[in-house]
Amino acid sequence: MPTWEQIQPYWPFIVMGVNGLIAGWLAGLLIGGGGLIRNLIVGIIGAFVGGALVRMELLQLPVAVTNITNAIPYGTQILISTIGAIIVILIARFLGGRA
């Protein structure tokens, strides 16, 4: 069994993977489709898209929403990643002709 000191350098990647899986799963529930691997990939890409939108100030969550999501560990991050994953899915469907 690995120790915490051995796992700690990889912790951001573990959090990103779990976050991506949750965000992709939520996006799949909201707009349909997906599978475990597809949800993971779409969720991780969505995390980058959502994060970029927040950094460019194109996506701002209302204070009432962030008050709720901040009470949940990684809640705001998962919400932003889910929004990004939905955007990724919609763009992929549009480009694929499955609108």
Looking at residue 92, its pLDDT comes to 87
| 42 within 8 A of 97, measured Cβ to Cβ | no
Looking at residue 84, its pLDDT comes to 93
Residue-number span of the structural domain to which 73 is assigned: 18-90
The verdict on residue 95 lying in a domain is no
The verdict on residue 8 lying in a domain is no
Q: How far is it, in rounded angstroms, from Cα 86 to Cα 55?
A: 18
The verdict on residue 41 lying in a domain is yes
Residues of the chain with pLDDT below 70 are 98-99
The verdict on residue 43 lying in a domain is yes
The verdict on residue 7 lying in a domain is no
| 34 within 8 A of 24, measured Cβ to Cβ | yes
The verdict on residue 57 lying in a domain is yes
The verdict on residue 73 lying in a domain is yes
Looking at residue 40, its pLDDT comes to 82
Q: Enter the DSSP assignment of 8.
A: G
Looking at residue 98, its pLDDT comes to 63
The verdict on residue 13 lying in a domain is no
Looking at residue 85, its pLDDT comes to 92
Number of domains in the chain: 1
Q: How far is it, in rounded angstroms, from Cα 19 to Cα 43?
A: 7
Alpha helices in the chain (DSSP H): 4-7, 11-31, 36-55, 63-69, 75-96
